[in-house]
Amino acid sequence: MCITLSTFCRMCNSRLIRSFLRHKSSTTKTSLWLKQAYIGGEWLDATSGATFEVRNPANMKVIGCVPNMTVVEAQKALDVATKAFYAPEWRQITARERSQLLKNWNTLILQRGTDLADIMTAECGKPLTESLAEVAYGQSFVEWFAEEARRIDGQLIASSMRNQEVLVLREPLGVAALITPWNFPMALVLRKAAAALAAGCTVVIKPAEDTPLTCLALAKLSEIACIPAGVFNVVTTNKAAPIGDLFCRSPQVCGISFTGSTEVGKHLFRESAGLLKRVSLELGGNAPFIVFESADIVEAVKGAMVAKFRNAGQTCVTANRFYVQSSVYDNFLKQLQAQVEALKIGPGHEQGVQIGPLVNRAQLKRLKSFMKDALQRHAKVVCGGKHLQDIGELFYAPTIITGVDRTARIYREEVFGPVITLTKFDTEDEVVTRANSSLRGLSGYFFSRDLQQVFRVARRLEVGIVGVNVGLASQAEAPFGGIKESGVGREGGHFGIEEFTEIKYICLGGLKYD
Active site residues: 282, 316
Helix (H) or strand (E) holding 383: strand 380-383
**Cβ density class 395-406: b for 16+ within 10 Å, e for less:** bbbbbbbbbbee
| Residue 17 CA neighbour count, 13 Å, CB half | 8
Burial of 106 (0-12, 13-18, 19+ CB in 10 A): buried
Q: Side-chain half-sphere of 136: how many Cα atoms within 13 Å?
A: 7
Sign, CA torsion 102/105/109/110: positive
- Using N-to-C axis directions, what is the helix angle for 95-111 and 187-199, rounded to 10°? 160
DSSP letter at 396 equals B
Pick from 420, 462, 454, 418: nearest CA to 438: 462
- CA separation for the pair 283, 449 (Å, rounded): 31
Task: Give CA–CA dist 247/257, Å, rounded.
Answer: 10
Contact criterion met (CB below 8 Å) for 218 and 191: no
Residue 481 CA to residue 483 CA, distance in Å, equals 7
Angle between helices 212-224 and 95-111 in degrees, nearest 10: 120
DSSP notation for 82-98 = HHHHHSHHHHTS-HHHH
Inter-residue contact 296 to 218 (CB < 8 Å): no
Whether the CB-CB separation of 243 and 71 falls below 8 Å is answered with yes
* Contact between residue 217 and residue 115 where contact means Cβ atoms under 8 Å apart: yes
- Residue 346 sits at φ, ψ, to 5 deg, of 165, -175
Contact between residue 499 and residue 255 where contact means Cβ atoms under 8 Å apart: yes
Smallest CA-to-CA distance from 185 within 220, 245, 256, 137 is with 137
Name 494's Cβ contacts closer than 8 Å, sequence gap at least 6.
Answer: 148, 151
Rounded to whole angstroms, the Cα distance separating 269 from 280 reads 9
